Amino acid sequence: MSGPGLPVTASLPAGAVVIGIDAALTKTGYAVLRAAGRGERPKLVEGGLIRTDATETLADRVAAIGTAVLELVEQYDPAAVAIEGLFAHPKHPGPAIQMAHARGAILYVLAAAGRPPREFAPRAMKQLLTGSGRATKAQIQFAIQAELGLDKPLEPDDVADAAALALCGIYHPRPNTPVS
């Protein structure tokens, strides 16, 4: 199976587990996918949210994200982990700073576990999944739904974005390299 921008075969062997993580301080989305053999679709094993409470200290929130990611890595023993590269809008730097806190916890856990992430810039992720670096959320949702053979789009968006990242982790040909 292959979506509009996806290659025909995966860069990982069938059965390999890939975790996609959409980092955020309040709601970090994650998706666990299993790579498929030729002519088969990757399988969604699990998806969900790591939530933190805004009333907690920043240190407690960062620690909670790190602990939850460590539990995922220990439970699934992934061949790869894919995360979104840090991006910022010059007029709104706050979300990037919050995302950086979550990414820091995630990157630390992955480094300590010997699982360097595959990082994907938003445009590169869109390009790989749809063939266009300017794809809309709806186009990305359609590509995820088609590639995973789902009856309906993944919700919430944080989980869908994590699944998109995991698909990129499966199909990107060079392991553990930033993709911009």
How many Cα atoms sit within 13 Å of 57 on the Cβ side? Answer: 3
Looking at 119, 147, 158, 161, which residue is catalytic? 158
- CB neighbour list of residue 99: distance below 8 Å, 6 or more residues apart: 23, 24, 25, 86
What residues have CB less than 8 Å from 97, skipping those under 6 apart?
Answer: none
Cross-strand partners of 46: 32
* Whether 119 is catalytic: no
Q: Which of 40, 71, 74, 84 is catalytic?
A: 84
Q: Whats the size of the chain, residue-wise?
A: 180
Give all strands (DSSP E) within the chain, no chain letters.
17-22, 27-34, 43-51, 80-84, 118-120
Q: How many Å apart are CA 158 and CA 161, to the nearest integer?
A: 5
Distance CA 148, CA 140 (A): 12
Does the annotation mark 151 as catalytic? no
- Three-state DSSP state, 32: strand
Q: Is 84 a catalytic residue?
A: yes
Active site residues: 22, 84, 158
